[in-house]
Structure 1
Amino acid sequence: MSLLLLNKRAVSEDDSVGFHGYERDALLRLKAGFNNAFLDGNWTGIMCYMNEPPYWHGVQCLNGRVSGVTLEKMGLVGEIKVDSLFNLTELTTLTFKNNSISGNMMDFTYSRKLINIDLSGNNFVGEIPSSLLNLDSLESLNLENNKLTGPIPELNQSTLQSFNVSNNNLSGEVPETKTLQSFGLSSYLGNENLCGPPTPTLCTTLRESNGDENPGKKSKNNELFAAVIVVVDVVVLVVILFLLIIYYKKYKKLKTEIQTRNNNNVPLNDEHDSTIIERSNDKSALDGGERGKLVFLENNNSNNGAIFELDDLLKASAEGLGNGNFGNCYKAMLAIGEVVVVKKLRDLKPMNGDEFVRKVTEIAEHKHPNLMPLLGYYYSKNEKLFLYRFASSGNLHNRLHGGRGTRDRVPFRWSSRLAAARGVGRALQHLHLNSGRSQTTAPHGNLKSSNVLLDENDETLVSDYGLAALIAAPIAAQRMAAYKCPEYQSRKRISEKSDVWSYGGLLLELLTGRIPAHSAAPGTEGVDLCSWVHRAVREEWTAEIFDAEIAVQSGANSGMLRLMQIAMKCCEKSPEKRPEISQVVAEVEEIKGGGRDSEEDDEYSSYSSFDRSVTDDSWSATPSLVIGDAHR
Structure 2
Amino acid sequence: MASPLNCRTRFPKLLEHFLLLYLLLLCKNVVADDDQNDFHGEERDALLALVSGFNNSFLRHNWTSIMCYKNDPPYWFGIECWNGRVTSVRLENLGLTGEIKIDALFNLTELSVLSFKDNSISGQVMDFSNNQKLTDIDLSGNKFDGPIPLSLLKLNSLASLQLQANNLSGSIPWFDQTSLKEFNVSYNNLSRPIPNTKVLQSFNRFSFLGNPNLCGPPTSSNCNSTNDTSDTNNDNNKSKGSSKSSIFVPILLAVNVVVLIFLLFLSIIYFKKYKGLKKKLEEKHIVVEDEEKHDRMRIETGEKGVAAEGEEKGKLVFINEERQFELDDLLKASAEGLGKGNFGNCYKAMLESGPIVVVKRLRDLKPLSSEDFTKQVRIIAEQKHLNLLSLLAYYYSKDEKLLLYKFASNGNIYNRLHEGKGKPTRIPFRWSSRLLVARGVAKALEYLHQTTKSSPNVVPHGNLKLSNVLLDENNNVLVTDYGLTSLIAAPLVAQRMISFKSPEYQSHKKLSRKSDIWSYGCLLLELVTGRVSADSGPSGTNAVDLCSWVHRAVREEWTAEIFDVEIAVQRSANHGMLKLLQIAMRCCERSPENRPEISEVVREVESIDLTPDSEDDEEFSSMDRSLTDESMSATPSRSTIGEDQP
TM-score by length of 1: 0.59
**Structure 1 residues 186 and 339, CA gap change in structure 2 (3 angstroms):** same
**Structure 1 residues 409 and 237, CA gap change in structure 2 (3 angstroms):** closer
Aligned counterpart in structure 1 of residue 29 of structure 2, from 69, 80, 98:
80
Q: CA deviation at 1:381?
A: 1.2
| Structure 1 counterpart of 2:216 | 245
Paired residue secondary structure (1:417): helix
- Residues of 2 paired with 1:84 and 1:96: CA distance? 8
- Residues of 2 paired with 1:287 and 1:352: CA distance? 13
**Structure 1 residues 507 and 236, CA gap change in structure 2 (3 angstroms):** closer
Aligned counterpart in structure 1 of residue 430 of structure 2, from 410, 413, 437:
413
Q: Quick one: which amino acid aligns to residue 187 of structure 1? A: N
| Structure 2 counterpart of 1:218 | none
Q: Deviations over 1:348-399 (max 9, x none)?
A: 1111111111111111111100000001100111111001010000000010
**Structure 1 residues 143 and 552, CA gap change in structure 2 (3 angstroms):** closer
- Residues of 1 paired with 2:219 and 2:450: CA distance? 46
Aligned counterpart in structure 1 of residue 626 of structure 2, from 596, 600, 608:
608
Q: CA deviation at 1:406?
A: 1.4
| Structure 2 counterpart of 1:297 | 319
Q: Deviations over 1:268-311 (max 9, x none)?
A: 5x6x6x6xxx521536767999943311111xx4xxx7621222
**Structure 1 residues 386 and 623, CA gap change in structure 2 (3 angstroms):** closer
Matches within 5 A, 1:441-456: 441-456=458-473
Q: CA deviation at 1:525?
A: 3.3
- Residues of 1 paired with 2:573 and 2:154: CA distance? 59
Matches within 5 A, 1:106-505: 115=71, 140=82, 185-188=129-132, 238=196, 244-245=215-216, 264-268=288-292, 278-280=296-298, 282=300, 291-298=313-320, 301=321, 307-505=324-522
Q: Deviations over 1:169-216 (max 9, x none)?
A: x9xxx9xxxx99xx9752349xxxxxxx98599xxxxxxxxxxxxxxx
Paired residue secondary structure (2:379): helix
Q: Deviations over 1:131-182 (max 9, x none)?
A: xxxxxxx9535779xxxxxxxxxxxxxxx758x99899x9xxx9xxxx99xx
Q: Deviations over 1:465-510 (max 9, x none)?
A: 0001111110000101111111111111111111000000000111
Contact 1:486–1:621 (CA<8 Å) still a contact in 2? no
| Structure 2 counterpart of 1:521 | 538
Contact 1:117–1:140 (CA<8 Å) still a contact in 2? no
Determine if the alignment matches structure 1 residue 620 to structure 2 residue 640. Answer: yes
Contact 1:534–1:619 (CA<8 Å) still a contact in 2? no
Contact 1:293–1:380 (CA<8 Å) still a contact in 2? no
Paired residue secondary structure (1:293): coil
Aligned counterpart in structure 2 of residue 557 of structure 1, from 555, 574, 577:
574
Determine if the alignment matches structure 1 residue 588 to structure 2 residue 605. Answer: yes
Q: CA deviation at 1:315?
A: 1.6
- Residues of 2 paired with 1:117 and 1:394: CA distance? 41
Q: Quick one: which amino acid aligns to residue 140 of structure 1? A: W
- Residues of 1 paired with 2:382 and 2:422: CA distance? 42
Contact 1:484–1:518 (CA<8 Å) still a contact in 2? yes
- Residues of 2 paired with 1:416 and 1:556: CA distance? 12
| Structure 1 counterpart of 2:555 | 538
- Residues of 2 paired with 1:117 and 1:338: CA distance? 55
Paired residue secondary structure (1:323): strand
Paired residue secondary structure (1:318): strand
Contact 1:617–1:623 (CA<8 Å) still a contact in 2? no
Q: Deviations over 1:579-604 (max 9, x none)?
A: 111111110000012244499xxxx9
**Structure 1 residues 297 and 557, CA gap change in structure 2 (3 angstroms):** same
Q: Deviations over 1:9-60 (max 9, x none)?
A: xxxxxxxxxxxxxxxxxxxx99xx8xxxxxxxxxxxxxxxxxxxxxxxxxxx
| Structure 2 counterpart of 1:214 | none
Contact 1:318–1:331 (CA<8 Å) still a contact in 2? yes
TM-score by length of 2: 0.57
**Structure 1 residues 331 and 117, CA gap change in structure 2 (3 angstroms):** closer
Contact 1:117–1:141 (CA<8 Å) still a contact in 2? no
Percent identity for Structure 1 against Structure 2? 50
Matches within 5 A, 1:36-75: none
- Residues of 2 paired with 1:614 and 1:349: CA distance? 45
- Residues of 2 paired with 1:380 and 1:399: CA distance? 36
**Structure 1 residues 83 and 322, CA gap change in structure 2 (3 angstroms):** closer
Q: CA deviation at 1:247?
A: 8.5
**Structure 1 residues 585 and 615, CA gap change in structure 2 (3 angstroms):** farther
User: Relative contact order (alpha carbons < 8 A, sep ≥ 6): 1 or 2 greater?
Assistant: 2
Contact 2:530–2:563 (CA<8 Å) still a contact in 1? yes
Contact 1:359–1:470 (CA<8 Å) still a contact in 2? yes
Count of residue correspondences: 427
Q: CA deviation at 1:440?
A: 3.5
Contact 2:412–2:470 (CA<8 Å) still a contact in 1? yes
Q: Deviations over 1:230-289 (max 9, x none)?
A: xxxxx986569996235985699xxxxxxxxxx954455x6x6x6xxx521536767999
**Structure 1 residues 236 and 339, CA gap change in structure 2 (3 angstroms):** closer
**Structure 1 residues 465 and 449, CA gap change in structure 2 (3 angstroms):** same
- Residues of 2 paired with 1:248 and 1:464: CA distance? 30
Paired residue secondary structure (2:566): helix
**Structure 1 residues 399 and 351, CA gap change in structure 2 (3 angstroms):** same
Contact 1:571–1:619 (CA<8 Å) still a contact in 2? no
Q: CA deviation at 1:337?
A: 3.3
Q: Deviations over 1:388-416 (max 9, x none)?
A: 01000000001001111212210000000
Q: CA deviation at 1:320?
A: 0.8
Q: Quick one: which amino acid aligns to residue 434 of structure 2? A: R
**Structure 1 residues 597 and 365, CA gap change in structure 2 (3 angstroms):** same
- Residues of 2 paired with 1:362 and 1:287: CA distance? 22
- Residues of 2 paired with 1:598 and 1:580: CA distance? 36
Q: Quick one: which amino acid aligns to residue 292 of structure 1? A: G
Q: CA deviation at 1:614?
A: 4.3
Q: Quick one: which amino acid aligns to residue 297 of structure 1? A: I
Paired residue secondary structure (1:187): coil
**Structure 1 residues 81 and 512, CA gap change in structure 2 (3 angstroms):** same
Q: CA deviation at 1:317?
A: 1.4
Contact 2:329–2:351 (CA<8 Å) still a contact in 1? yes
Q: CA deviation at 1:333?
A: 1.0
Q: CA deviation at 1:613?
A: 4.7
**Structure 1 residues 161 and 405, CA gap change in structure 2 (3 angstroms):** closer
Q: Quick one: which amino acid aligns to residue 478 of structure 2? A: L
Q: Larger deviation: 607-616 or 311-320?
A: 607-616
What is the root-mean-square deviation in Å for CA atoms of aligned residues? 4.7
- Residues of 1 paired with 2:428 and 2:475: CA distance? 14
